[in-house]
Amino acid sequence: MTGLLLPMPRTATVSARNREVSRDLLVVVLATGLTFVICVAFELREWLTEITRPLEQYQIDELPFTLGALALLLAWFSWRRWRQAAQELHLRVEAQQALMDNEARYRLLFMENLAGNALCAADGTMLLGNPAIAHILGLPGTQAATGRNLFDFYADRAVADEHRALLSHGSKVDVALLDLVAADGSAVKVIARMLVRDEPTTGAAFHVYVADISELQLMQRELADALAENRLLSQKYLLAQEEERRHLARELHDEMGQCLNAIKLDAVAIHRHPSELPRDVLESAQSIMEVSTRVYDVARGLMERLRPVALDELGLADALRHLSTEWRRRNPGVDCSLSIEGDLEGLGEQTNITLYRVVQECLTNIARHARASAVRLHLERAVDHGDLMLRIADDGVGIEPVRKKRGGLGLAGLRERVEALGGRLEVISCVPHGVEVRASIPAVGGRP
Ligand SMILES: Nc1ncnc2c1ncn2[C@@H]1O[C@H](COP(=O)(O)OP(=O)(O)O)[C@@H](O)[C@H]1O
Ligand SMILES: [Mg+2]
């Protein structure tokens, strides 16, 4: 770095000045002594009285005392000026020291900065750079950076021209992502800021700050890839889960349902002959009929939870209407309304089942936890871009923050389902004003 002041030993300067003053005082004392000796030796005052006798009327013989007083006053005057000068010197030395301390600090900040810093001329020639900018540009050191043109390291000429033009008009340049090519040909991604400076003494036209974000970019890309992969895996897992559930529901319906029906029919057949059979056999047949009916109801409930038949048979809108009607029947004290806007045709299996499961789980949560008196379900498909927005709001007790943090599997599972479709699930709760669950799912575009 050029133009730096050399450190000045402050105490050494002060003591050198003090030595000089003492020497000068000694010269004054010696010169006075010598004058006295000469005056005594040649009897100069008598000589002066003799030669000024004709001019007695002008009182010239009184001059020596006046001159003596003048000498004393001059000595006092010099002493006062000297003290003033010493104080000024002291202040100047202190100011210079503070300046040097500051400069050392700024120099450290500049040189040790992890971000690249450079002062450039109007055409982009670097006049002064720190080690970080040399490193970012793949140059061996700051000396190598000096004299090189910053815009030569741009990957895109057009961008370089654009920045040059902006700076020449006095505008600031702020770039979140700038592609550079280092001296060894490797690609470097930086975040950059260029500020116009008018420094006629150094010829600097702008100051550039750059921070290397190549690794950050790489990590971001890897993270985005991992996220996309995760989403895909989640989608596949959920699809497989739904397929398995559908299979189980079919098995329950086809196998268990048939067997239960057969058992019930046998019991009915036995019960048809009351006169030929003992009483306890008839009672057992009656009990078998009742139990098999109950088991069949339980199995039907299970089938419904495993695979909403209505969804396959009626489509999403009617399946949701069916779900809310059933829920209303089971929770007669709650005012539940459902409104659907937009065309829900052709949404795709995965979107349909996700929306259905969100409504199903939320209604279950409301019945189990909310103690609500009203529930509003609203599903909307935007006409222009096709995005879906589902809102389920209740006026119950709300979710306490502790519970929200701890969370259950229900809401977490819903979030996973919605995010697997690239959507977002929000649970907004203000105790005691109920809960609103919002699921937004982007346009489907041929999803299965
Ligand atoms: N509508 C709601 N009203 C009040 N509390 C709710 C509501 N929905 C969820 N919660 C609370 O959030 C918790 C987490 O819900 P969830 O993830 O579905 O788990 P689970 O229902 O199995 O407990 C619940 O235990 C409950 O305390
Ligand atoms: Mg739940």
More confident residue, 407 or 279: 279
Maximum C-alpha span of the chain: 184
Task: Using most ligand atoms within 8 A of CB, pick from 357, 360, 368, 369 the residue to mutate for ligand 1.
Answer: 369
Q: Where are the domains of the chain?
A: 10-111, 113-212, 315-441
How far, in Å, from the CA of 321 to the mean position of ligand 1? Answer: 23
Reported as type and span, the H/E element at residue 204 is strand 204-212
Residue 407 CA to residue 418 CA, distance in Å, equals 17
Whether the per-residue pLDDT at 394 is higher than 80: the answer is: yes
pLDDT digits (tens, 9 = 90+) for 158-209: 999 999 999 998 899 999 999 999 999 999 999 999 999 877 777 778 999 9
More confident residue, 271 or 263: 263
Mean pLDDT (the chain, rounded): 88
More confident residue, 435 or 3: 435
**What is the structure's pLDDT at 131?**
95
More confident residue, 16 or 401: 16
Residue 222: alpha-carbon gap to chain centroid:
19
How far, in Å, from the CA of 375 to the mean position of ligand 1? Answer: 15
Give Cβ neighbours of residue 391 (< 8 Å, ≥ 6 apart): 376, 377, 378, 379, 436, 437, 438
Q: Which ligand is nearest to the CA of 408?
A: 1
Task: Using most ligand atoms within 8 A of CB, pick from 334, 362, 365 the residue to mutate for ligand 1.
Answer: 365
**What is the structure's pLDDT at 13?**
67
For 77, the token pair is: 């005057």
pLDDT digits (tens, 9 = 90+) for 238-250: 888 888 988 898 8
How far, in Å, from the CA of 171 to the mean position of ligand 1? Answer: 55
pLDDT digits (tens, 9 = 90+) for 127-160: 999 999 999 999 999 999 999 999 999 999 999 9
CATH 3.30.230.10 assigned to domain 113-212? The reply is no
Cβ burial 244-266 (10 Å sphere, 16+ → b, else e)? ebbeebeebbeeebeebeebbee
Residue 159 CA to residue 163 CA, distance in Å, equals 6
Average pLDDT of the segment spanning 366-388: 91
Q: 28 falls in which pLDDT band (50, 70, 90)?
A: confident
**What is the structure's pLDDT at 309?**
79
For 398, the token pair is: 């709300």
Average pLDDT of the segment spanning 225-252: 88
Write out the CATH class of domain 315-441: alpha beta
**What is the structure's pLDDT at 5?**
38
Strand order in the sheet with 126-129: 126-129, 116-120, 204-212, 187-199, 173-181
pLDDT digits (tens, 9 = 90+) for 280-331: 888 888 999 999 999 988 988 888 888 887 888 889 999 999 999 999 999 9
Residue closest via CA to ligand 1's atom 4 equals 370
How far, in Å, from the CA of 342 to the mean position of ligand 1? Answer: 29
Average pLDDT of the segment spanning 27-53: 88
**What is the structure's pLDDT at 250?**
85
Whether the per-residue pLDDT at 7 is higher than 50: the answer is: no
Residue 196 CA to residue 163 CA, distance in Å, equals 11
How far, in Å, from the CA of 429 to the mean position of ligand 1? Answer: 11
Closest atom, ligand 1, to C-alpha of 399: 5
Cβ of 365 less than 6 Å from ligand 1 = yes
Average pLDDT of the segment spanning 261-268: 90
**What is the structure's pLDDT at 10?**
57
pLDDT digits (tens, 9 = 90+) for 104-114: 999 999 899 88
Q: 273 falls in which pLDDT band (50, 70, 90)?
A: confident
**What is the structure's pLDDT at 3?**
39
Which three-class secondary structure string do you get for 302-371?
A: HHHHHCCHHHHHHCHHHHHHHHHHHHHHHCCCCEEEEEEECCCCCCCHHHHHHHHHHHHHHHHHHHHHHC
Give Cβ neighbours of residue 81 (< 8 Å, ≥ 6 apart): none
